[in-house]
Amino acid sequence: MKKFATVGLGLMLATGPAGYLFAADSAPEKSVTGTLEDSYCYGAMGAKGASHKQCAIACVKKGIPVSLVEPSGNVYILLPAKNDEPLPDDVYSKMEDQVTVTGKEYSKGGVNFLTAETVK
């Protein structure tokens, strides 16, 4: 009985993370057009636009999450295409610009996320 429980637990632990991988692979791909903003200045102070560009670049280089804000007001937090990788360099150079980001869309707890596979 102990051997059966040990094998069962081992299989559960070994295959458990696979569920997360399949869930990530099955996320729908979406293209979203909007303006790249640093989440702190945009959310807390309403700062945006060309006059805020250098501040936005400095904030995201310090680790503030990047938001993609659609003209309708919908906000997406950008994620790297793969775990443990940075966002594409295009994200940083195009802060405060209107871009189209294509990637996988996720929504958790009322928050929208989009992986930044391509930024144009």
pLDDT value of residue 41? 96
CB atoms within 10 A of CB 15: 9
Instruction: Give me Rg for the CA atoms of the chain.
Output: 18
Q: Which residues pair with 115 in a beta bridge?
A: 79
pLDDT value of residue 22? 41
- Per the model's pLDDT, the better-predicted residue between 15 and 55 turns out to be 55
Instruction: State the total domains in the chain.
Output: 1
Asked whether residue 60 is domain-assigned, the answer is: yes
pLDDT value of residue 76? 98
Give residue 39's domain range. 28-119
Q: Which amino acid is at 103?
A: G
- pLDDT tens, residue by residue, 76-116: 999 999 999 999 999 999 999 999 999 999 999 999 999 99
User: What CATH number is associated with residue 103?
Assistant: 2.40.50
- pLDDT tens, residue by residue, 2-44: 544 443 444 444 444 444 444 556 788 999 999 999 999 999 9
Q: In the Cβ-directed half-sphere of 22, how many Cα atoms lie within 13 Å?
A: 5
Asked whether residue 21 is domain-assigned, the answer is: no
Q: Which amino acid is at 64?
A: I
As a whole number, the mean pLDDT across the chain is 85
pLDDT value of residue 6? 42
pLDDT value of residue 12? 45
Asked whether residue 89 is domain-assigned, the answer is: yes
How does DSSP classify residue 70? -
The two tokens of residue 24 are: 């990530």
Q: Which residues pair with 78 in a beta bridge?
A: 114
The two tokens of residue 33 are: 């057009």
